[in-house]
Structure 1
Amino acid sequence: MELSFTHQLGLVCVILLLPQLCLSQDSFTDSRATYYGSPDCYGTPRGACGFGEYGRTVNDGSVAGVSKLWKNGSGCGACYQVRCKIPQYCDENGANVVVTDYGEGDRTDFIMSPRGYSRLGRNEDASAELFKFGVVDIEYKRVPCMYNGYNIVTQVHEQSKNPDYFAVVVLYVDGMFDVNAVEMWQEDCQEWMPMRRAYGVVFDSANPPSGEIYLRFQVSGNGGVYWVQSKNAIPSDWKAGVAYDTMVQLN
């Protein structure tokens, strides 16, 4: 029996395992988006992810708070393509935003910074109209984060106090990975000890090692769940607010 063209194309997608040939609008999820106030149109440094100033300016300030995509904090740092659905106003590519906060709105999955929300519009006048709507229907999908020139960075949280309390924030995670857990090496016990997820992507320990601190991260993505270890130790004289390069890239 001769197969129709549609059936033939379906078989090609399955047999050759080339998902890029089979992508369609079905890869987007329908939802709604709104925006929050900001004096300079950037993000907020007080977001629930714990990113601080990074959460205000990363991705040129195109950031968002999310609700169901929050995933107990492991959704922090994820990147999404968001595009609105009013043809006369909306840009066909929409905006790429980074999750830096938790927020709930009127049946919205995204509460965007003004800079991010404005990029939904096809031009300046269209963006102004979208701001008048306040809430718009959108569709979104997760996309890889791209931080060219950056490795994963661990920043010592500003509330850390050497040697009694140590907390880190995980920054510049490339690709489509979630940070599920962080562990530190305990030389005395010769084992990896879990750090507590304080909130967002802030992981802490009330009893950090007295010497250099070695960290490893449990990440999850399309390839499964696995551990990656920092190639650099955080020095024993670490200071709050200082960022340390792990020399690790996931892509």
Structure 2
Amino acid sequence: MGALQATVFFLILLKARDVTVAENDEWKTATATYSKETDGSIITEGACGYGDLHKSSYGKHSAGLSTILFNRGSSCGACYELRCVDHILWCLQGSPSVILTATDFCPPNYGLSADYGGWCNFPKQHFEMSEAAFAEIAERKADKVPVQYRRVKCERRGGLRFSLSGNSRFFQVLVTNVGLDGEVVAVKVKGSRTGWIPMGRNWGQNWQCNINLKGQPISFEVTASSGRTLASYAVAPANWQFGQTFEGKQFK
């Protein structure tokens, strides 16, 4: 096999692997409950820093993850398909599934048994859902149901969204509406008078660096968990202000 043929064959295998991981991930077992608070953190905010989940497009189809799944916030933005299984009383007929985005952390409660209230105790794999999303796969009467889950591609409308905050000595951006992997593992920022500057994870999907970029058009380079990198140039114009949100390119 020639060098060119070998390269093409390798790229085909790599592409097939990406599709397999993203679309045909094996089903795994977990449990799920839902938050009974209509304005609780699972709907309006969360540990990933997305703020109002309806404005960030995640809304009712968001979930809090137990410690082992949350992985210190690196799972923020990832998409999961869930279906209720193996419970004739609580699971809806036909085992319909629902797609959720990881937006919050379900903290452990070691004062309670893992079977009675301590759903998110380590190393349990658990999803805390909104009541509306839970009702799409199971009866609301259920306290906890067994589920199967798998990672899937995130389907998003529009481009990546960059929400700016900070001050003259501190620059922060919240990255939302991330397609495909959903997870952001690295971010770089560039002004018109700077090179690419790596940003550190502040918390969730908030990324920071200590630099003053006022008066400069801003570009972002985002790396997803698959290793794919996407650059959005001059996303914010020179007259941008803190508190504004701008839209860039999208992973395809």
Q: Is the 8 A contact 1:42 1:61 kept in 2?
A: no
Mark the CA change 1:87 to 1:56 in structure 2 (over 3 Å): closer, same or farther.
Answer: farther
Whether the 8 Å CA contact 2:46–2:104 is kept in 1: the answer is yes
Secondary structure in structure 2 of the residue aligned to 1:197: strand
The normalised TM-score by structure 1 is 0.75
Task: Indicate how the Cα distance of structure 1 residues 102 and 41 shifts in structure 2: closer, same or farther if over 3 A, else same.
Answer: closer
Q: Is this contact kept in 2: 1:153–1:171, CA < 8 A?
A: yes
Instruction: Specify every segment of 5 or more residues in structure 1 that has no aligned partner in the other structure, as ranges.
Output: 1-13, 122-126
Give the CA deviation at 1:173: 0.8
Aligned to 1:48: 47
C-alpha spacing 1:172/1:215, structure 2 compared with 1 (3 Å): same
Q: Unaligned 5+ residue runs, structure 2? A: 1-12, 108-117
Selected match of 1:191 from 179, 195, 212:
195
- Mapped contact 2:188–2:198 kept (Cα < 8 A): yes
Task: Decide which of 126, 129, 152 is 2:160's aligned counterpart.
Answer: 152
The normalised TM-score by structure 2 is 0.75
SS of equivalent residue, structure 1 residue 233: strand
Shift of 1:28: 0.6
| Aligned pair partner of 1:113 in 130, 138, 143 | 130
Give the structure 2 partner of residue 234 of structure 1. 236
Give the whole-Å Cα distance in 1 for the aligned partners of 2:182 and 2:60: 21
Kept after mapping to 2: 8 A contact 1:34/1:110:
yes
1:249 corresponds to: 250
| Correspondence list, 1:159-238, <5 A | 160-161=166-167, 163-185=168-190, 191-210=195-214, 211-221=216-226, 225-238=227-240
Q: 1:83 — aligned with what?
A: 83
> In 2 relative to 1, CA 219–57 (structure 1 residues): closer, same or farther, beyond 3 Å?
closer
After superposition, the Cα gap between the structure-2 partners of 1:46 and 1:116, relative to the gap in structure 1 and judged at 3 Å, is same
RMSD of aligned Cα (Å): 2.8
Identical columns (%): 25
After superposition, the Cα gap between the structure-2 partners of 1:73 and 1:241, relative to the gap in structure 1 and judged at 3 Å, is same
CA distance in 1, matches of 2:184, 2:52: 20
Distance in structure 1 (CA, Å) of the matches to 2:150 and 2:220: 31
